[in-house]
A = this chain, B = another copy of it.
């Protein structure tokens, strides 16, 4: 753990637990510097992260104010696994692996990754996510078999990311995402229990590692009436 992350984590936790509450000023940067035994620069880097995530707003000559930040709903941005998200939201859910086979990539990822290879073989997983006995999401993943040679049913029904990072020691770095609204397919209707003519919200992502190699394409199909994405953004 770096000193930076320690300061960042601690401040975030204290804001979450209302040790510092909304509309209040944090201690000044020099006070935090003394408190944590870190240089002002290190403190400032921690504060910058909190600013970017919507925890605080800094004002020249005054200090850093705690913002009434959102309870998490479903973040658009953030490269986070379904399992991690369920944990943060304190929800429990069940995942069913519906299908696994070798295929080539569908064209629907072309807008996200114009240079994708459409002749290369990928491992395709179809998983259904059930919350409170209701199916709400279908995840269709395409994983590069050169990087991830095999995926067991247990892994698929628990967490791909845990497996990738913990067991395979892959360093997931970033993703490009896209949200659209589309007519439900026959598969959607079957697995999400939808009537004919329904719409679904589709989140497609292309995920890359540290070394910029793209290794996973995901299509996440949500029941439209359960879809709610939230986001914090700063004016640049």
Is A33 close to B, CB under 8 A? Answer: no
C-alpha gap A211/B70 in the complex (Å): 18
- Please provide the chain A residues from 175 to 203 with a CB less than 8 Å away from any CB of chain B in the complex: 175-181, 197, 199, 201
Determine the residue in chain B with the shortest Cβ distance to A225. B181
Q: Which of B115, B172, B179 lies in contact with A229, CB distance below 8 A?
A: B179
Q: Judge whether B235 and A174 touch: CB under 8 Å.
A: yes
Q: Mark A74-92, 1 if CB is under 8 A from B, else 0.
A: 0011111000000000000
A227 within 8 A of B: yes
In Å, the complex CA distance between A121 and B80 comes to 40
Task: Tell me the bound Cα distance from A77 to B233 in angstroms.
Answer: 5
| Interface flag for A160 (CB, 8 Å) | no
Distance from A184 Cβ to chain B, minimum over Cβ atoms (Å): 11
Complex contacts, A2 vs chain B, CB 8 Å: none
Query: What is the minimal beta-carbon distance from A228 to any residue of chain B, in angstroms?
Result: 5
Are B234 and A174 in contact (CB-based, < 8 A)?
Answer: yes
Any B CB within 8 A of the CB of A54: yes
The A219-236 residues at the B interface (CB cut-off 8 A) are 224-225, 227-236
The reply on A10 being an interface residue by CB < 8 A is no
Partner of A224, one of B78, B113, B199, B230: B199
Q: If A111-B228, A224-B199 touch, does A176 touch B54 (CB 8 Å cutoff)?
A: yes
Identify the closest chain B residue to A62 (Cβ).
B211
List chain B residues, Cβ under 8 A from A173: 57, 234-235
A59 x B178 contact (CB < 8 A): no
At the interface, yes or no: A6 with Cβ under 8 Å from chain B?
no
6 contacts between A and B (CB under 8 A): A54-B174, A76-B179, A78-B236, A175-B232, A176-B232, A177-B232
A77-B233, A197-B197 are known; give 11 further A-B pairs, CB within 8 A.
A57-B174, A76-B233, A77-B231, A78-B233, A111-B228, A172-B235, A174-B233, A175-B232, A177-B230, A180-B228, A181-B225
